Homo-oligomer: A and B are copies of this chain.
Amino acid sequence: MMMVRKSKGLGERHQRILDFVLEYQRENRYPPSIREIGEKTGITSTSVVNYYLDQLEKMGKIERDRKISRGVRISGPNTSADTLRIPILGPIAAGPFLLVPEPGVNYMNEKEFEAVDIARSLLPAKEKGNDLYALEVQGDSMIDAMINDGDIVVMKPANEARNGEMVAVRVRDEYTLKYFYKEKDRFRLQPANPTMKPLIVKKSEPVEIGGKVVMVIRKMERPLAA
């Protein structure tokens, strides 16, 4: 008994193929061949798989590069995007020290480091991202920077900053995260919280920039106690 597709949309086999291609791609990082699709979806003939792939292509669900082995890909951005793995060097808190990456060390090759995956599309277009690193905020000492306990801040190494960039600055023996403004004869360090007053520092005082803040990520997974 033959199957009949009632709706104009996706039949069961269409869905099965779509799901399998997606899963296979995730597992192997390359697309399946027509025969592999057939085996796993219960289709015995390669021509039938081809038949369905043609339909899926017309529906816009997949793209095919003809004549090329494994030239199938799920169209649309539903799949995997271009990402960057950024190592989490350790904790950060307001205080006299700031964790910065040792130059010349490639943290990516070391398995011991935790890391976060960030889509390139979330970063500034020019950002190559090779030297980014991340820190995990510990405690509530960054609340005036609108940053919570447990947040992850993505940093970029820097010793100086342009006006309006958020940086980790060391003033009066403490690193804090502030928006940085250089004015006539002073630095204005503005908290992210608009209700809080800026810290004004004369240029004579030592102001050390530890890095620029590129991004802040707050995960809400775990329900908060208390």
Residues of A within 8 A of B (CB): 26, 28-31, 33, 60, 65, 68-73, 76-83, 85, 108-109, 115-119, 121-124, 140, 143, 146-148, 162-166, 179, 192-195, 212-225
Contact = CB atoms under 8 A, between A and B. Distances in A.
A45 to B, nearest CB: 20
Number of copies: 2
Contacts of A219: 122-123, 214-215
12 contacts: A28-B73, A30-B73, A60-B109, A69-B69, A76-B109, A77-B108, A77-B115, A83-B117, A143-B194, A146-B148, A163-B223, A164-B225
Contacts of A193: 143
A28 to B, nearest CB: 7
A223 B164 contact: yes
Given A108-B76, A223-B162, A122 B217 contact: yes
A119 B86 CA distance: 12
Report the 3 A-B pairs with minimum CB-CB distance, sorted nearest first.
A164-B223, A117-B119, A216-B218
Nearest to A149: B194
B119 A194 contact: no
Contacts of A214: 219-221
Contact of A81 (B117, B212, B220, B224): B117
Contacts of A29: 31, 73, 79
Contact of A82 (B65, B80, B217, B223): B80
A138 to B, nearest CB: 14
A101 B37 CA distance: 34
Contacts of A213: 220
